[in-house]
Structure 1
């Protein structure tokens, strides 16, 4: 089993080239994708795999330019979808999840803490402390869930909160997204990180925690 350094863990998740540090590599990589636009906005809002663009039956409110490699959304109403397309058999922090449309990061924390670990909203609202943001630009690889597109570009940011819990509190899966919970100390976390057992972006959150609390691994 390979072992990973801190920098290895970062590169596993934040692995797409940045234009200000590697402009030529960035331009070459981006040129292989379709650029996603929304009508009325000049900015590129994302990138799409050619295999997705070519294999999708586009409704009338989409325009696809195969020469310029652009996909334009001209306007539509969407119902919110909730798909559990996460990773499998990976370690996570106690709870976390995506921010629903219209929610603030803190509202999302309250919801996820209740759904995934059976925390009371009152306790979380009084004790959770915002500790900043972890950002990265990932490229989805073969470790993603079955059916997920390999090579998908995923620029993301994670809003990080610390929550100190009572010694007698035992988290319980409420929505069954988690299989179980484990109480680990720093040595166990260090070993799991070195062995690559954590989901890659969750490893970044733990590294951020170690840096903030001056823990050296």
Structure 2
């Protein structure tokens, strides 16, 4: 079945909106445990009951079934919380109960409080279990011919990848490690994933805002389904000379295609793109005047949904 642009947005930004359907939103929120940190008056993520139950009775954790909260306690600062969260994640991994932890990355993601302060670091693969906001960079690389035709570099993910194997991606994409700046992450990922020289990226890349959404993970993400994944992607554009050709530089990318806008749109409609990469591509099309109010009936809805205000603290 052919997907509309709004279908692609709905697939990635799947968590209900209170403003649209207050009942559905309330039902969803009531299902989860609200993750809180002792000393901070805010919720930083949502946990499925099956995850919260595993933490019951463990050191540093306090469950309140009446209030539906689960609180990290007994830690006075970010390093202490990081130790507690790491011990918890490693214990959960050791049980073999959660498949999502089988793809342990040894990458630390930062989790932030209401004033952008670092609360703790956590292993990347564990963040969906706690419903925490994570951050990444996505870049679309493109070429403009002398005649003005725009073509876009599209990589296909390796079929062996544990997540979204064989699907289409943006030219460069990767998660931001704790303490890493988005721009430096982008430069690093450009070399690792697309063999793009640092000087070319630094000279030509342009920051283009963010794309935010609240994803409910499905089987393609690997591991348990229905885990919650609110994300913020820093978006970049890179116009490349015609003689600069991205090439795979690791085992994550199978090959790159140089496609016309029409070819990309057909692949989007076929559902070939990784869900959040489809969102970033739609954002690119809007910014470059390819999707307009004249050719897209759901223009306002799509534009607003690409920039969701997340309900947890962010950077």
TM-score, scaled to structure 2: 0.63
Q: SS at 1:190's partner residue?
A: helix
| Contact 2:56–2:63 (Cα < 8 Å) also in 1 | no
Counterpart in the other structure of 1:143: 220
Aligned positions, number: 214
RMSD, aligned α-carbons:
2.0
Q: SS at 1:44's partner residue?
A: coil
Q: Distance in 2 between matches of 1:163 and 1:59?
A: 48
Q: Distance in 2 between matches of 1:87 and 1:64?
A: 34
Counterpart in the other structure of 1:66: 65
Counterpart in the other structure of 1:156: 231
Q: Please show how residues 165-204 of structure 1 align to structure 2 within 5 Å.
A: 165-204=240-279
- 1:36-91 Cα distance to aligned partner (Å, 9 max, x none): 01111111100011122224576412222334322111233346335586322211
| Contact 2:56–2:62 (Cα < 8 Å) also in 1 | no
- When residues 60 and 181 of structure 1 are mapped into structure 2, their CA distance, relative to the original with a 3 A threshold, is same
Flag the structure with higher strand content: 2
- 1:94-152 Cα distance to aligned partner (Å, 9 max, x none): 1111111111211111111111111122221121101111111111123222xx22111
1:97 to 157, 164, 174: 174
Higher mean alpha-carbon deviation, 66-75 vs 76-85, is at: 76-85
Flag the structure with higher helix content: 2
Q: Please show how residues 1-217 of structure 1 align to structure 2 within 5 Å.
A: 2-55=1-54, 59-74=58-73, 75=75, 76-78=81-83, 80=108, 81=123, 83=125, 86-145=163-222, 148-216=223-291
Q: Distance in 2 between matches of 1:37 and 1:21?
A: 26
Alignment gaps of 5+ in structure 1: none
Deviation at 1:203, TM superposition (A): 0.5
Alignment gaps of 5+ in structure 2: 76-80, 87-107, 109-122, 126-160, 296-315
